[in-house]
Amino acid sequence: MKAIVFVYKRPELTKRIVLRIDQINSEYKRKYHKNAISQIILVHDGIREEEDNRSKNFHQEARELCLYLERTHPQVSTLIFEDNVGLTNHMFRIVESLEGSVRDYILLEEDKAPTFEGIEFLLQTSKAMDPRALVDTSPFNKHLDQKITQISTLYTDNGNMTIGDELYDLVKQLWIVKDKYQGEFEKNMQTYLSSFLSGFSLKRAYGYCTKSYAWGLTNIDRPDSLLTYALILSKKFKACPPAPLSENWSDQDYRGKNVNTVPVGRGSHCSSQTIKIWDVEVCPKCERQGVSERVALTLFSAIRTGLIYRINKL
């Protein structure tokens, strides 16, 4: 497989990602007598209009590093863009420039470092992956059940990913037709949420999720919401390992747009009590947690969240 690294203005993390892939290839070659990653494509996006001069300098440093690594590292190639068209259109133009199937590429952000175990999982799972699903190395929790080698979930921390070909084609179609399938999407969302929520919690979750993921149909910077919308429309999930297998480096470089901290409540649990949704076994604890980290599910937490929001606005 080939690795696509999304680069913006964190050159140190970019260099560390390339060195980490080198290390993984060495370990993989010792075990399987071949490289795990045959090519590293560093994709450098154009600068955003709102960036100040300091950020522009960091952006230029990242670009120069990409070109330097291309000259000095035999596995590295670069894909450089001068204009910034938003993350969703950026994803489309990258994929359209690739050779072969999108399933043959692992997608990495510059602050989500791969591990040997994570790359091994992606390589093994992508061979037989559902073409309308997505493989991600970062589930919320560590599942202690020894029998579980793979879990299905709608919520991850967006680690290292591989996208199914049919899922990608559907995402492209949805970006064009927008809310043409909104009724079917809402029906599927109701079926999904009612599998593990009821009453006030279900109403809160449904109202939030239908709006949040539909936002991906029009917002140029929310490809994650658009991908989730497509998954729900297809009655599919993300395939993940039983525990997180990538490293979050976002707090190690202040130049990132977001610092992804692990919310309270993450950890380990036994997922022997699964439920079936769309003919797939999922962990209801993880699904409820995924929703609750986005919207308050109880009346008390909803009032508390509203009060905190109003106080912060003062």
Separation between Cα atoms, residue 85 and residue 200, nearest integer Å: 39
Lowest mean pLDDT among 11-25, 87-101, 229-243, 270-284: 270-284
Q: What is the pLDDT of residues 229-241, one digit of tens each?
A: 999 999 999 999 9
Average pLDDT taken over every residue of the chain: 92
* Angle value at C-alpha 85, between 80 and 89, nearest 5 degrees: 90
Answer whether residue 298 shows pLDDT above 90: no
Rg, Å, the chain Cα set: 20
- Give residue 276's pLDDT: 93
Domain that holds residue 218: 2-313
Name the domain count of the chain.
Answer: 1
Distance, CA of 183 to CA of 262 (rounded, Å) = 34
- Evaluate if residue 90 carries a pLDDT over 90: yes
Question: What does the pLDDT read at residue 256?
Answer: 74
Say if residue 1's pLDDT is above 50.
Answer: yes
For residue 223, count other CB atoms closer than 10 A to its CB: 20
**Contact call for residues 231 and 237 (beta carbons, < 8 A):** yes
Distance CA 76, CA 66 (A): 9
Please provide the DSSP assignment of 73-125 as one string. -TTEEEEE-SS---HHHHHHHHHHTSSS-GGGEEEEETTEEE-HHHHHHHHHH
CA distances from 274 to 130, 153, 248, 270, 284 (A): 20, 11, 28, 10, 6
Question: What tens digit of pLDDT does each residue of 112-153 get?
Answer: 999 999 999 999 998 889 999 999 999 999 998 777 889 999
Would you state the pLDDT for residue 308? Answer: 52
**DSSP β-ladder status, 268-269 and 246-248:** unpaired
* Residues 6 or more apart in contact with residue 100 via CB below 8 angstroms: none
Any idea what the CATH number is for the domain that residue 114 is in? 3.90.550.10
Q: Has this prediction a pTM greater than 0.75?
A: yes
Q: Do residues 58 and 10 make contact, with C-beta atoms less than 8 angstroms apart?
A: yes
pLDDT reading at 309 higher than 50:
no
- Evaluate whether 114 touches 142 at the Cβ level (below 8 Å): no
Determine the pLDDT at residue 296: 87
* Tens of pLDDT, residues 33-53: 999 999 999 999 999 999 999
Instruction: Give the alpha-carbon dihedral of 123, 10, 88, 140, to 10 degrees.
Output: 50
Alpha-carbon distance 78 to 42, whole Å?
5
Helix then strand then coil, in percent of the chain rounded to 5, is 50, 15, 35
pLDDT above 90 covers what percent of the chain? 80
Per-residue model confidence as pLDDT tens digits over 166-213: 999 999 999 999 999 999 999 999 999 999 999 999 999 999 999 999
